[in-house]
Chain A
Amino acid sequence: MSKRRPYVRPMDGWWLKNPYYVRYMSREATSLFVGVYALILLAGMVSLACGETAYNNWLMAMTNPVSIGFHLAALAAAIYHTITWFAVAPKVMPALFLAGKRVPDIAITTTQYAIAVVLYLGLFCMVWRV
């Protein structure tokens, strides 16, 4: 008779058992902030379509300290998500080859930061008309 009795360990609370998993779950959790932010923005668009009073009410609501607090938290979450996303992007896209040589991961990540900086500078210039 076989004496085998392979033991399978439970997975409860797995994401708290390793700092790497905690970071992974935080990255996933940032999507909640992005989701709520998108809904708020959508509400703004709808109120804009509804007319001036509705839009002004929405603008008023946005100056509420709770709203400002949420937007700061959402900004932090979005920045964290962007950093983690830029870091994994070289793993997600097909391997890039230039002149027969593999483009190193660090070059891909740096290029993304460079593009982001240029886009944001452009955006700020447009908004503040400098």
Chain B
Amino acid sequence: MTDIEKTIEIEVMRYHPEQDASPVFKTYRIPYASDQSVLQGLQYIKDYIDGTLSFRWSCRMAICGSCGVMINNQPKLSCKTFLRDYYPGKIRVEALQHLPIERDLVIDATDFINKLESIKPYIVPREARSLEQGEYLQTPEQLARYEQFSSCINCMLCYAACPQYGLKPEFTGPGVLALLHRYNADSRDGARADRMQIVNAEEGVWGCTLVGYCSEVCPKQVDPAAAVNRNKVNSTLDYFLRFLMPGGGESG
């Protein structure tokens, strides 16, 4: 059989707040091709079967972070996941776990965005430099200390993987804490003391019980579990340094 004649079944979570009390599943049969992504499958449904299906996407190349969904119960980027990995089995697509569903596969990201803004996700220069003084230089080691954490694309797959976030949505959560660490670990940055208040808070790193699934599902190998748990050490040092140095200390 050529790819043209093959088909595959996709079961999709549907939720229309105007008419549904809770989400329901609908199954669609679409043409199969080995080079098709699950996102393309959803687009086929929208274009040829049911135009009311809602889902997010933009870049189609795993960099914008908007196409995250649950595929067979695992958080994945739908543009980076292929029909061939499931064929001839069935594919089940749901909205990202632990996040409120707005409609079909579209989740409400407000909470994530607010948390993201709260951590000052930008470099606050440690020392002011004028243009004439040139750029801020870093050694390869200084770069290596934060580089992996700067690859985050804010896709929220790690939130869909984190049961602690599902149980306690106040928890700052893996992705945002990883990004916080990215700036705190940067030798050019000077806002560490401010960000440590978020790290130390009840909703900060101590909300994590090291389930570790976040790092498993991250499509960019950010390893948010490492960022969160290394900051438990930083948070502890911060706590004790406060007694040694009045006014609070800067811990390693």
Contact = CB atoms under 8 A, between A and B. Distances in A.
Given A5-B17, A6-B102, A91 B225 contact: yes
Contact of A15 (B17, B18, B101, B163): B163
Contact of B17 (A4, A9, A90, A100): A4
A129 to B, nearest CB: 40
Contacts of A20: 211-213, 216
Interface residues on B, range: 35 or more
A97 B108 CA distance: 40
Interface of A: 3-9, 11, 14-15, 17-18, 20-21, 24, 28, 88, 90-95, 97, 100-102
A7 B17 contact: yes
Interface stretch (B59-67, B140-148, B196-204): B140-148
Nearest to B23: A7
Given A20-B216, A100-B140, A6 B226 contact: no
B126 interface: no
B172 interface: no
Nearest to B185: A95
Interface in B119-154: 139-141, 144-145
15 contacts: A5-B17, A6-B17, A7-B101, A8-B101, A11-B167, A14-B163, A18-B213, A21-B163, A91-B215, A92-B229, A92-B232, A93-B230, A93-B233, A95-B145, A100-B144
